[in-house]
Amino acid sequence: MLRKKRVNRNTIIIFLLIFLSFSVDIFSQLLFRDDFQTKNSYWYWRSDGNQQKPTVQNGLLKLELLNAVNSEYCNTEIYDPTEPYGPGTQVRIRLKASSIHSGSRGWGFWDGDIDIPSLLYDYDVAWIMQQGSDSSGTDYNWFQFGVNKDSINNRQIIDLTELLDETKWHTYKITWKDRLVSLHIDNRLVFVTNQTIPDEKMRVDIWIDNRVLNLSNPANYRNTNSDSSEMLVDFVEVTGLEGPEISRTLPNNVIFWNSPNSFPIGENNSLWKKFNINSSSEGKAYLFLTGSAENYKSIMEYDELKVKFNGKDFGWKNNFSLDGKVLKGKGKSILMEVDLKTNNLLKIITNKTPFLKDIILLHSPKGKLIFSKEYNETAKTNDGLWKTIEVNAAESSNAVLLLSGEAEKNDAIKIIVDNKDYGWNGEFSIAGNKLKGYPNTVALELNLKQGKHKIEIHKKGKPILYTAVIYGTSTLTDIDNEEAVASELKLTANPNPFNNATIINYTLPQSGRTNISIYNSIGQLVETIINENKNKGSYKLNWNAENISSGLYFCVIKLESKVKVHKLMLLK
């Protein structure tokens, strides 16, 4: 691929400073990630000729070359503002494309050199490139993965024409080592070479243009007319060779903690992760997952994730799953009670590409769930103290606090325990300057002396708090205040009266089968909102009554043999 213009030196220096200040996850080899929920200012967004820059819509990046003309170079593209990557890097890109147009397109690593002398004598790439042309012959029409060092004529390639259908979704992984480059497509190794390995710094580039070159003689090129060409990109993830997974140290009361910190390849009803977990004791345990899921609307099906533990299927489309249709790109945590054996099998099943940050299993022989609350709340104005949790220790006790949430740049959540401040950054915070809006779980070990203890959750900016859980020895109890789990079944709604939608808040004093239903004034069932097993704790859900007429309604919650009724007034 040829370019008409290169970013000037001063611009590169400015962007380099931006890149150096761009925080990454210090606990993994993650270098950069974008799943295109919003337009990320990190990328260099480019267009040439009569084209528009790429856009972000419905959780996807869209590149479209439309009505390109042969009188000028036409291009639409995103790429790193510098060439920050060297050997020891891999990139995963999930995308689909329309049928090939007259011109070229591609994705992968490129050294950024654009002039003819560079193409012939200083050209390094490890990328996929496809070209179509009204000229016949393989020099003008090809679909290849190529690895180049120093010259476009000095390359190792694999022909992808018969290997895959580029108009379908695929996840491409390019791994670049000192002496080896490989290509995986949908987790299948399709090419590896130890020849012509790039030795210059490179960047990630995704583009479509109207340029056609002769592969045997790249100095012979021209611009062409092109009606349309399109690519949709689900995510880009750049890491070191070990990938994005985070290595964790297990605190007390945690017997398993895995942090995939990534996306699956995008298949439906696919077994993504499988873990064999051994335990020295059996009994009740709690599985805690944190992740997010997107809704792509009419473009493709939404993300989903469900759990199977020791053969028990917790199912899709409920409070124990990640459901992109409900979350719409946001995150949440899931807490589920499981029966622990000495040998356990955990399976993570996915549709499309939900993001999974953490999987944590809580258990100890004398442990119990002390506190559990599902907040799913965005901070409002006024930085400072946000939530307070109080516990009482009958004797010196050990517990773990799990706190989950997300934060954008300059937003954060910090924890203070008995006046000990764990800070806005680091392992025990939810810091937006590192997370860039992705979910995270904090696991803070609590070594508590006899007496009362206060846990404070502080906010800065507008972070989102998902869930707080305390698990520990049976000598610990929560204190009955507004932040603690009540001893009775509770049910409220706000606003009430309401127009179209209201938030239903409920507290379960115990785990069990929970049913929440809406009835009209003559006792007819209008809607069952949930009917599933739920853990002890406080929850909130949204009831959308947009298609229901005005009037008096009753919200009824049933927990095993316990029943609570709350009157609702719908006004339109």
Compute the distance between CA of residue 567 and CA of residue 149 in angstroms, rounded to an integer.
72
Lowest mean pLDDT among 22-26, 248-252, 273-277, 355-359: 22-26
Compute the distance between CA of residue 125 and CA of residue 197 in angstroms, rounded to an integer.
9
Lowest mean pLDDT among 107-116, 232-241, 243-252, 492-501: 107-116
Give residue 144's identity as a one-letter amino acid code. Answer: Q
pTM: 0.81
Compute the distance between CA of residue 172 and CA of residue 190 in angstroms, rounded to an integer.
10
Compute the distance between CA of residue 210 and CA of residue 500 in angstroms, rounded to an integer.
50
Tell me: pLDDT of 94 over 80: yes
Compute the distance between CA of residue 136 and CA of residue 214 in angstroms, rounded to an integer.
11
What are the pLDDT digits (tens) for 281-306? 999 999 999 999 999 988 899 999 99
Quote the CATH superfamily of domain 490-570: Macroglobulin (MG2) domain (2.60.40.1930)
- As given in the structure block, the two tokens for residue 226 are 């092109």
Please name the fold of domain 9-240.
Answer: Jelly Rolls (2.60.120)
Residue 231: C-alpha distances to residues 90, 168, 211, 227, 566 (Å): 21, 11, 17, 14, 50
**For position 366, what pLDDT does the model report?**
87
Q: Find out whether 292 and 438 touch, Cβ atoms under 8 Å.
A: yes
Lowest mean pLDDT among 191-195, 385-389, 535-539: 535-539
- Which is more confidently placed, 289 or 119? 289
CATH 1.10.10 fits 257-359, yes or no: no
Q: Tell me the H-state helices in 309-402.
A: 324-327
* Residues ≥6 apart with Cβ < 8 Å to 401: 415, 417, 442, 443, 444, 446, 455, 468, 469, 470
Q: What are the residue boundaries of the structural domains of the chain, listed by start?
A: 9-240, 257-359, 366-484, 490-570
**For position 116, what pLDDT does the model report?**
61
Q: Which residues of 60-89 are buried (b: 16+ CB within 10 A; e: fewer)?
A: bbbbbbeebeeeebbbbbbbbbbbbbebeb
In the predicted model, what is the mean pLDDT of residues 159-187? Answer: 97
| 257-359 and 490-570 share one fold | no
Compute the distance between CA of residue 206 and CA of residue 309 in angstroms, rounded to an integer.
40
Task: Return the bridge partners of 554, or none.
Answer: 519, 567
**For position 482, what pLDDT does the model report?**
39
Task: Return the bridge partners of 443, or none.
Answer: 402
Task: Return the bridge partners of 235, or none.
Answer: 94
In the predicted model, what is the mean pLDDT of residues 468-495? Answer: 73
What are the pLDDT digits (tens) for 187-214? 999 999 999 999 999 999 999 999 998 8
Please name the fold of domain 366-484.
Answer: Jelly Rolls (2.60.120)
